[in-house]
Amino acid sequence: MNAVNGNYFLDCKRVAGIDLAGSPRRPSGVAIIYNGILVYADKVYFDDEIIGLLRSHNVCIVAIDAPLSHAKGYRRVDLKMKKRGFRVLPPGWRGMKMLVSRAIRIKSILESMGINVIETHPSSALKNTGFRDVMAALSKIISVNDWSFLEKGKDVVDAVIAASVAWVYVCNKAEKISDVDGAIFLLPSLGKK
């Protein structure tokens, strides 16, 4: 892959999004986009299922809805998100620690396979577009032939939003909020408020 500006990939046509659950006993949403077209959106449970699915689709970028670094409370990047009006949870909360550990483990495995992993927050990503309606926002970013994923639950919808963030990331259109302890990528503003 050819890196552009250190983070973006010219030849990356396949991206994914994961709305990760803290425990494999609860479903995680996974969505995959090929060249701007949503091709997969469903629930999976186990790490090996997630990794196998991403490997079988040969994705190059994955956006995960989970903090990708530990902290005692809020990270500085989280505080920047809150200042912008986005409602994020601190990685240091007891209930978040298992999620963060799982996300970091999956990130490590994916990166060892040459897959780049970025952090996102789907509700903030959607809010940043200026649209409340998922269909209205996503139809301006990706092509969707089957909107039935909307009936599969919040996990799957958030995974599609995360995959859309990965898509705009490779297109060099994602908004980045960062600090010394992390970076969170969002969908761009689409102008409607």
| Confidence band of 134 (pLDDT split at 50, 70, 90) | very high
Give the pLDDT confidence score for residue 9 in this predicted structure.
Answer: 47
Instruction: Report the pLDDT averaged over residues 152-172.
Output: 97
Output the furthest CA–CA distance in the chain (Å, rounded).
43
3-186: CATH, from 3.40.50.620, 3.30.420.140, 3.40.50.970, 3.40.50.11540: 3.30.420.140
Summarised one tens digit per residue, pLDDT across range 37-56 is: 999 999 999 999 999 999 99
Q: Is residue 6's pLDDT more than 70?
A: no
pLDDT of residue 20: 96
**pLDDT value of position 192:** 58
Q: What are residue 192's phi and psi, to 5 degrees?
A: -85, 135
pLDDT at position 54 is: 97
Determine the average pLDDT of the residues in 107-129: 96
Mean pLDDT over all residues of the chain? 91
Q: Which pLDDT score, from 0 to 100, does residue 25 have?
A: 93
Please tell me the distance from the alpha carbon of residue 108 to that of residue 117, in angstroms, as a whole number. 9
From 184, 24, 193, select the one nearest 88 (Cα to Cα): 184
| pLDDT band of 90, cuts 50, 70, 90 | confident
Copy the structure tokens of residue 56: 């079988």
Whole-number pLDDT of residue 11: 61
Kindly state the tokens that stand for 191.
């102008």
pTM of the model: 0.92
Per cent of the chain over pLDDT 90 is 84
Strand partners, 143: 37
Across the range 99-104, mean pLDDT stands at 95
